[in-house]
Amino acid sequence: MIHMTEEGDRKFTIAVWIIEEIIFAIMFWTVAADIARGLRWHPAWYLEATCIAFALISCVIPVLRLVDAVKMPWWFNFLLMADVYIYTISLCLGFYMDPDIPWWGFFGHVLSSMSVGAIVFLALCLIEKHSPAHVTLGSNAAIHCYTLMISLAFGGIWEVMEGYVDVLVGQSVMVYGDFDTLDDLRADLVGSVIMVILATFIMKGRTAIDVADTTVFRNPRKKKEDRGD
């Protein structure tokens, strides 16, 4: 694993953040300029709103890192950012609806399910760490089972939300066909299982508390006071 100094880590975070926002700006421009291939299947307002929303969401982790509030493990950051970018770029370029790559939608949903599983897994490890001594989630295997079940539950809730969004806007912007929901639930299962397998490797020779320790929460104000600023 590559170790960087604090200053090097901050510069790397800023560089990645700038590149992220440039990518979202380019995607937004392709939609606004009416050249995005995804406009064949999706309304412009939906693609533009997606670019803006995910551009803002992608700011959260870098900003928290730069103000020394939270430092996330690298595998967590990688999964979340990969999911956000692949979803936005694929939507604007029309990959999800392209008949030449019918498997792309399934792949994208598997990646999204892995991201949800990563959030659930890390949250469970943090709960285990900060719970009273007499309260425990159990063994590593139990945490993997909880990760799988909670991730699948979130997948079901998301599918319900997609259906209601299409009803409210009066257009098919999130559900793409009669079997889309069934296919998405199947992808949820695959993605959740893959994340559980990854979690097994992450926890090899470690406990949930060890994994939780890779996520650092700090009080920036307190840190400045300790430095005497």
Q: Are the C-beta atoms of 34 and 40 separated by less than 8 Å?
A: no
Q: Rounded to whole angstroms, how far apart are CA atoms 130 and 41?
A: 46
Looking at residue 94, the DSSP 8-state letter turns out to be T
pLDDT at 214 over 90: no
CB proximity list for 77: less than 8 A, separation 6 or greater: 61
The answer to whether the predicted template modeling score (pTM) of the entire model surpasses 0.85 is no
pLDDT at 229: 47
pLDDT at 81: 82
Question: For 145-180, how does the pLDDT look when each residue is reduced to its tens digit (9 = 90+)?
Answer: 999 999 988 888 877 777 677 667 666 555 555 666
Indicate left, alpha or beta for 94 from its phi (over 0: left) and psi (-120 to 50: alpha): left
Share of the chain above pLDDT 90, in %: 7
Question: For 75-123, how does the pLDDT look when each residue is reduced to its tens digit (9 = 90+)?
Answer: 888 888 888 888 888 888 888 878 888 888 888 889 888 988 999 999 9
pLDDT at 221 over 80: no
